[in-house]
Structure 1
Amino acid sequence: MTQVIADISVSLDGFVAGPNVALDNGMGDGGDALHAWAFSDDPDEQGLLEQGTNRSGAVIMGRRLFDIIDGPDGWSDEVGYGAAEVGRPPFIVVTSAAPTSVRLSELDWTFVTTGLADAIRTARERAEAASAASGRDLDVVLMGGGAVIGSAVAAGLVDILTLHLAPVLLGSGTPLFVDAPPRTLRQRSAVVTPAATHLTYDVL
């Protein structure tokens, strides 16, 4: 069964990017440390990364994250879901208006201008179609940014929340949750690797 999974790296003080985020500084000052686990040679960390990408039947992101990914210093053949070893699921971008051009034109982009719920609905349809075609369950993965994931959890649109907790204090930056309503989580797993602690919760 297709589920909606929010998956993001976060600092110990709750930030998903450092201060001064820009097209040429996509993770903000100090924010690259949040993703050290994803670029590690450690086999356990590489295994977790592979598990996460292999389950992706469709991937959702916000417009700011798309602009960074599609920018000149963004994804390439070596880095990102566009990399050959990872695969290329369809990408759904939540935005107020579609861009006039896309650098990563070889990837499957859909721009949804009618809100997050519609983006998730579109992504679920794509993931379910991919599941049927592949013969295995694939999920909708919300990869960020923080505002998209925070809003989706607050609205009850997420089934599973996975946090890759990096051992760093950024001090400021982009918070994952802002004025979030109360919500109960049930812990599924906690996996400790050299560069992060990986926490997975059912969102009730």
Structure 2
Amino acid sequence: MTDVVADISVSLDGYVTGPDAGPDNGLGDGGEALHTWAFSDDPDDQRIVRESTRRSGAVVLGRTLFDIVDGPGGWNDEVGYGAGEVGRPPFVVVTSSAPEAVRLTDLDWTFVTSGIGDAVATARELAERESRRRDAYVDVVLMGGGRLIGTALEAGLVDVLRLHLAPVVLGGGTPLFVAGVPVGFTQAEVVSTSTATHLTYDVR
């Protein structure tokens, strides 16, 4: 079946960006360390990137993250979704208003202005269509940012939480979790590599 998977890298102190993140400093100060694993030569890291990209039937992201990846210093022909895999699933952006123009016109963008619930429903339809095309299940992936994933968890929209725990303390930035509705998890998998600890939880 198609799962909704929240997938994000996080520091040991719980941040998904470093301090002073913004359009010209997307991951914040020191935040690049969060994604070292995605570009490493470790076979397990490479397998996780490859398998996650392959199973992505549709990807949901927030407007702040969209503005970063679609900005001048964002994704290009060599670096895109799935790091070096440059995956091309359809992307669904949660936003209050659609942008006037998109730089990455070769990607499939849908802008949803009616909230995270409708965005996930739209992405699920796209992923289920892709599942039928491939004759194999693919997932809806919530790639962030942190507030989007936290909101989706509180709303009960997430089936699986996948964290890539980077061995770095950032001391500030964008937190993954803030005070809100308690959510329970069941540990499903732990993979330790030279650059990260990959944690997968089923959402109860």
Partner of 1:64: 64
CA distance in 2, matches of 1:29, 1:95: 25
Aligned partners of 1:82 and 1:107 also within 8 Å:
no
- Give unmatched runs, 5+ long, in structure 2: none
Aligned partners of 1:76 and 1:83 also within 8 Å:
no
Letter in 2 for 1:23: P
> RMSD of the TM alignment (CA)?
1.2
Q: What does 1:35-184 correspond to in 2, within 5 Å?
A: 35-81=35-81, 85-184=85-184
Aligned partners of 2:147 and 2:176 also within 8 Å:
yes
Percent of pairs identical after alignment? 66
SS in 1 for 2:177: coil
Q: Return structure 1 stretches of 4+ with deviation > 6 angstroms.
A: none
1:24 to partner: Cα distance: 1.9
SS in 2 for 1:177: coil
1:25 to partner: Cα distance: 1.0
**CA-to-partner distance for each residue in 1:26-73, whole Å, 9 max, x for gaps?**
100000000000011111111111111111000000000000000000
CA distance in 1, matches of 2:172, 2:109: 31
Partner of 1:201: 201
TM-score, normalising length from structure 2?
0.97
Structure 1 pair 196–72 and aligned structure 2 pair: CA distance change class (3 A): same
TM-score, normalising length from structure 1?
0.97
Letter in 2 for 1:108: D
CA distance in 2, matches of 1:104, 1:168: 31
1:181 to partner: Cα distance: 1.6
- Give unmatched runs, 5+ long, in structure 1: none
More strand by share: 1
CA distance in 2, matches of 1:161, 1:94: 19
CA distance in 1, matches of 2:82, 2:189: 28
Partner of 1:19: 19
Q: Does 1:186 align with 2:186?
A: yes
Structure 1 pair 176–84 and aligned structure 2 pair: CA distance change class (3 A): closer
1:148 to partner: Cα distance: 0.4
Equivalenced residue count is 204
1:105 to partner: Cα distance: 0.5
1:82 to partner: Cα distance: 8.2
Letter in 2 for 1:43: P
CA distance in 2, matches of 1:139, 1:22: 29
